[in-house]
């Protein structure tokens, strides 16, 4: 075999066109045509499952339709129940809490590098700093964001996220 060249596509197209024209003029003998069609029908009939043919009696069609209708009803009822269960299982969204920002040190300077440190503190510890928690004394700990400057001193405290 030799590698394809750029003009081989055109040659190949011309050769296929000639072959198509030659084959269009050839007619199969009637006995060959009949044998091929008979083999086709025999092969097709071997795949037909009894009870699922369109030529079967009307009782089969009735029961098939009834089964499809029953399956549809069962599916609709199951999906309705599932939807109700999912809706009742969804917890309501919590009310948006307001965050309070307390400035505790000197202001942040221009260009000063700061870090945000998230920590948990007891409400009593916040009260000792003079900050009241929005959660009150009922909770064990409160989430707090602290902005710390370059020198390690807290610049601001954000409470009640």
pLDDT digits (tens, 9 = 90+) for 11-67: 888 888 888 888 888 888 889 889 998 998 888 766 655 555 555 566 777 888 889
CA distance 48 to 60: 15
The tokens for 128 are: 């000792």
DSSP run (H or E) holding 31? helix 30-46
Mean pLDDT of the chain, nearest integer: 79
Residue ranges per structural domain of the chain: 12-72, 100-159
CA distance 141 to 126: 10
Scan for tokens 């050769």, then name that residue: 15
Task: State the average pLDDT over residues 150-157.
Answer: 84
Q: What is the pLDDT of residue 54?
A: 54
Task: State the average pLDDT over residues 128-140.
Answer: 74
In this prediction, residue 91 has a pLDDT band, given cuts at 50, 70 and 90, of: low
Q: What is the pLDDT of residue 97?
A: 58
pLDDT for residue 148 is more than 70: yes
Please check whether residue 134 is in contact with residue 100, taking contact to mean a CB–CB distance below 8 angstroms.
yes
CA distance 98 to 94: 12
The tokens for 94 are: 């919590």
In this prediction, residue 87 has a pLDDT band, given cuts at 50, 70 and 90, of: confident
């Amino acid at each position: 075999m030799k590698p394809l060249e750029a003009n081989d596509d055109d040659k190949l197209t011309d050769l296929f066109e000639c072959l198509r024209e030659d084959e269009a003029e050839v007619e199969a003998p009637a006995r060959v045509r009949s044998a091929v069609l008979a083999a086709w029908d025999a092969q097709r009939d071997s795949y037909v499952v009894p009870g699922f043919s369109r030529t079967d009696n009307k009782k089969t069609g009735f029961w098939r339709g009834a089964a499809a209708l029953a399956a549809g009803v069962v599916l609709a009822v199951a999906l309705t129940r599932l939807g109700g269960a999912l809706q009742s299982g969804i917890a309501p969204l919590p009310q948006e809490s307001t965050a309070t920002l307390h400035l505790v040190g000197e202001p942040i300077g221009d260009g000063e590098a700061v870090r945000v440190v998230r920590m948990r503190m007891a409400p009593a510890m916040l009260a000792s700093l003079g900050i009241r928690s929005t959660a009150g004394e009922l909770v064990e700990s409160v989430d707090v964001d602290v902005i710390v400057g370059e020198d390690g001193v807290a610049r601001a405290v954000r409470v009640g996220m």
